[in-house]
Structure 1
């Protein structure tokens, strides 16, 4: 079940309890406490010499406390409302944490990285339904973006933005060209994938108009795209050949790829990311339990 929906339901339930306590139950407890204290004081007045001193005041305070105390079900619901509301607002409109589950973004992001995603960089969206209500910016080439997987929106994916609306993206012979301008590649020392115990070709890639970032290529993997979905939306915008693929990005959509180019299922295979599926921009690794040196910002 969608965690945002669960959080929203909790906000509604605890919010109703909190409002009901402020408007109804709190007043009822006060009336009950006043009546009980009045009765207590009347009994005290009827017993001269037995209704004074520290013991009496202590008993009176305990009675007032008991009558004003929230019932357990209200205490656990209403008292948690401010905390749950704060978490809901923070997670929905400011930042949201994610954990990297796969190696498709190696070398930029590793399995086990805990990242933060900026939720307002690309505009404010209503939680649960993800509808944009305020436009503050658009994804740019080179951004690392979290989005809802178009084939199953219950899943969150993370990839790098390669093409924005209107771009013509060509990925042939494991090299990118955007709008006829080739990306720049600078060779780096081979990368050792400690999970797979294998080496990959490592490059610094700079997209036209984008910041440099690392990518990996496997020398023994072919350049052509095998197993692409034949029916994804705007499939007619893409042409496949033995060297790779060329796609024109439709309006309101984005072309994304993993940095681990030969080990990533991305727009080459299942198509474009619609704007309504965008979650936010990843910008920080805040924890990796196996490697604390991973903490920090990334490209």
Structure 2
């Protein structure tokens, strides 16, 4: 393939127009058009900038075949990211299922020790999934901190067309849980205390809502992680050894927040026997992480 064909191919892989690339390179659109039609040759400094931006060597850009390079996933990136996504979804669903099961044990009036044991079983399995998949993924990232882009524009567009379905599906499930909760609350006077205690009824309402969240959460996670999978440029930037201190600090703070949420869960559950509300630290932690990301994002800008 010629230099012009390679430039055009790499540009399309980044979903850029000639105008976009021209703006990035500080040249006119006509100049980019001439490069791609091989009627003009970029200056040396422009070639270096192009190769750095496209994530290829000068030889690959000038003499190589961009299309052949892009179609090969030599590092097994796609397989690894799919596997990691499934593991995170499964781990999340397992932990949430544990909380849901705990609430149902309250409804059924099971012994607290048995209920706690069942809950801890779910949490243990979920935690094990997180640890094993996290270590494996971390090892992969260390071995492959830089991935050469290989997804085609068609592949990226195909997934982006599917993404709204995951978001809509998860949202509908959560809203369904909220509606179910509201409907159930309207029958509280007819159920309490004739059918069950107020504590059991509240636990049942929370369990129904959380059951919907348990199914919805993996849908959100899968959609988000798969969307990020196709952004190889961001993956390379995120795993750059020279990653800015602010980014490393943000990651550490986020991890600390979720660790604190887990500690709160155990303290509220085992020390105060408040298993119905011990999970509240996780959504609060999620909100705090969102705030931290917004603050650091604004500071970096």
Larger Rg: 1
Please, what TM-score do these two structures have when normalized by structure 2? Answer: 0.24
* Richer in helix (by share): 2
